[in-house]
Chain A
Amino acid sequence: MKTPIRLAILGCGAITRSEHIPAVTAHPSVELIALVDAELSRAQGLIRNRSLSCQAVADYHEILGQVDAVINALPNHLHFIGNQECLNAGLHVLCEKPLAITAADSRASTELAEQKKLVLAVGMNRRFAASHPLLKLILEDGLLGTVRDYDFQYGGAFDWRSASGFYFDRAKAGGGALMDFGVHMLDSVLDWFGPVSWFDYQDDDWGSGIEANMLLDVKHKGRFGEIAGHLQVSRTFSLKNRLLVGGSAASAEISTQDLEVVVIHRPLAGVPVSQTMQFEDFPGAKSYYRQLDNFVTSIVNGTKPEVDGWQAVRTLELVENCYAHKRRIAEPWSEIEMTENEARA
């Protein structure tokens, strides 16, 4: 396909504003044709504020014939229908995570893209931070010795100012902390450590389907053998916000404060030391730009994107399994004995 790729962004919420527009406008092989938002004034406002020279439209059906590709950044429940309609119109799609709110819908979109010979890439920007491929190399190199386990935590007071506020509606979001941020973590660990052979999942959903906290213990059986993992996500308080992979010779740490490096901790003549590792030559651009660049390269060269639909299906199958077999996190501080008045209720 010829460049520039003519592109539209569906949905003008927080992620489009903060990440997709800067990436798209910086990319030399992409021409932004339209911003689409059901609330037209939101798209118009962004075009005005960022001095963009593209159209604002309220309904993406209006521009399907004018573009080669779309970034689907609609609320989660609209990802599937948006993907299907764009793929059926012959457009390549970069869809924000999750690809759909069910594994079945993700599978359907992935199969449709294959059938139509179109690129369907999934927005997992963390894969495009340098630390992701760097840890892969570290694991392959055997620097950590026998890899035994990992601890992966991400948490803070929830502060995602989505334009539509869909994230607290189960039907629109598909879940809470696991579906929102957990999919990033699962996507990464499945890519690093291989398939999950066992899991135990707990969350603090009290009936809305929107958990604020989740705990997941897993066992991977992949090319590095059996690895035990512990994952924790919180929308209510800060956690350590890092991945720590433990091996017989050393451990590797990736902090969310700096996703471009991996810190190796190991003993040197018995004394614990740490060493920061980074690529000598790695594109300095942000992960969202690298993600877009990978999408464009896949379209132009007809290659598979770094994160394709099948990888999203694998992640969403695990998410669905977790929700299907979940246990409630014990909260003894919440479950105090009721008063007589309440008990009567």
Chain B
Amino acid sequence: MNWRAQTIFVTGATGFIGGRVCERLFQAGVPKVRALVHSMHRAARIARLPVELCSGDLMNRESLRSALGDAGIVIHCGLGPAASIVRGTENMLAVAHAAGVERFIHISTAAVCGITPPPGSEREDAPLRRTGDAYCDNKAATEKVVLDYGRRGLPVVILRPSIVWGPYSAWNTRLMDDLRAGHVAFIEGGRGACNTTYVDNLIDAMVLGLENDAALNQAFFVTDGERVTWGDFIHAHMAIVKPTPEVGEVSREEIEASRGKAPGLLIGSMKATARVARSKEFRQMLMEVPVTEAAMKKAWTWLNSLPSEKRERLRARLGVRRPVAQAAQPKFIPDPVTVATQSATVFFSIEKARKLIGYKPRIHFADGMRLVEHWMRFAGYV
């Protein structure tokens, strides 16, 4: 198909992957790109491109019909909250099918196999089982809906990237922040399979999915094709943080022992509530309420009027900042999701993508890290 002459519709366009898709389509000279934007204020990165910013919501079919316009291709990177993943994609599929879209590229995830994929899930033909994780299970359920639309005649392609990294990726920026905060550990020596997917390699696979009919109704794992471990990934970031952070090792026994000390229901709930109350998202929601907005602003002005020493003491008591003088920190133990993610033993195979659509990762891990470092220097992370 001549995808280059088509209008291309990108969902999730204000996100990390969708944003880079818009950039690459512009660089490739695609004449018209329509970007689905749920929260307009988040569109600063793609607003610098001559793409059409189309307001819409994956949960509202009418808005999708209007946003899709005359697009002949959909690249679906949109997600939304875990509970809406299936419904949102189903809405997009229905609208695309009715509009006679010629290709629907669905960005799934290797996490359909679970956060810690079981041995035997290296290839796409391994059956998907329920994992108990809402994100993984919903993404897996979504694939079934996509394939169902494929059987009904919508030309669909499913791509399953894993740890999608590159400039703007939270996998990179969060790790830098965590390294500086001392919140990183090598779990079991950092031997876990990282399954990196450099964002431009993923976009190469999308382009191949548009080009090749052999891709239709198929799901493909897409990674960088290198056996990068979490230890490699962490070391590569440590090398660009100055001063070089110290990262300790943590064993499975230590992790299990620390879980035994987890706070009880009451204390745990109180601590979690305090964390929510302090979170940026919650504060933003509160600011939507006029009376709270006024009260928060008064409180902020008052806080800022205090002498800095008193202000810091108050913040420390509220848990916003740690007190300056503090006892030695206990050994850092990563949270359960990080432990599960970094304990993977499965390296996904990209043989199917190689054979059927000619996928060959262009950006190798070391090259990708150089690009990330360039960007991080520009963005002030380094």
Contact = CB atoms under 8 A, between A and B. Distances in A.
Interface residues of A, number: 50
A210 B47 contact: yes
B45 A212 contact: yes
A334 to B, nearest CB: 6
Contacts of B41: 158-162
Interface string A319-345: 000000000010111111111011011
A165 B167 CA distance: 26
A161 B288 CA distance: 11
B326 interface: no
B47 A208 contact: yes
B207 A342 contact: yes
B317 interface: no
Residue with the greatest number of chain B CB neighbours at <10 A, chosen from A22, A165, A333, A337: A333
Interface string B33-57: 0000000111111011111010100
A57 B314 CA distance: 45
A201 to B, nearest CB: 15
Interface string A234-253: 11111110000000000000
> Which 6 pairs from chain A and chain B are nearest by CB?
A235-B44, A342-B28, A345-B4, A158-B44, A168-B47, A333-B375
A205 interface: yes
A49 interface: yes
A187 interface: no
Contact of B294 (A22, A239, A333): A22
B49 A207 contact: yes
B90 interface: no
B374 A208 contact: no
Nearest to A336: B200
8 contacts: A162-B41, A208-B47, A208-B51, A210-B48, A240-B380, A333-B167, A334-B23, A341-B208
Nearest to A208: B50
B26 A176 contact: no
A342 B27 contact: yes
A207 B50 contact: yes
A241 to B, nearest CB: 10
Interface residues of B, number: 47
Nearest to B53: A168
Interface string B359-382: 000110000000110110011110
Nearest to B291: A49
B95 interface: no
Interface in B8-44: 23-24, 26-30, 40-44
Interface of B: 4, 23-24, 26-30, 40-45, 47-51, 53, 55, 166-168, 200, 204, 207-208, 211, 284, 290, 293-294, 301, 304-305, 308, 362-363, 371-372, 374-375, 378-381
B15 to A, nearest CB: 12
A250 B372 CA distance: 36
Given A208-B49, A342-B28, A239 B380 contact: yes
Given A211-B48, A212-B44, A334 B167 contact: yes
B290 A50 contact: yes
A332 B23 CA distance: 13
B48 A158 contact: no
Contacts of A162: 41
B47 A176 contact: yes
Contact of A345 (B29, B290, B372): B29
A37 interface: no
Contacts of B284: 159
A1 B43 CA distance: 46
A286 B301 CA distance: 9
Contact of A339 (B26, B44, B204): B204
Nearest to B376: A333
Contacts of A345: 4, 28-30
Contact of B26 (A17, A207, A212): A207
A168 B40 contact: yes
Nearest to A168: B47
A258 to B, nearest CB: 6
Contacts of B50: 206-208
A204 interface: yes
Contacts of B48: 176, 204-208, 210-212
A309 B374 CA distance: 41
Contacts of A275: none
A205 B45 CA distance: 10
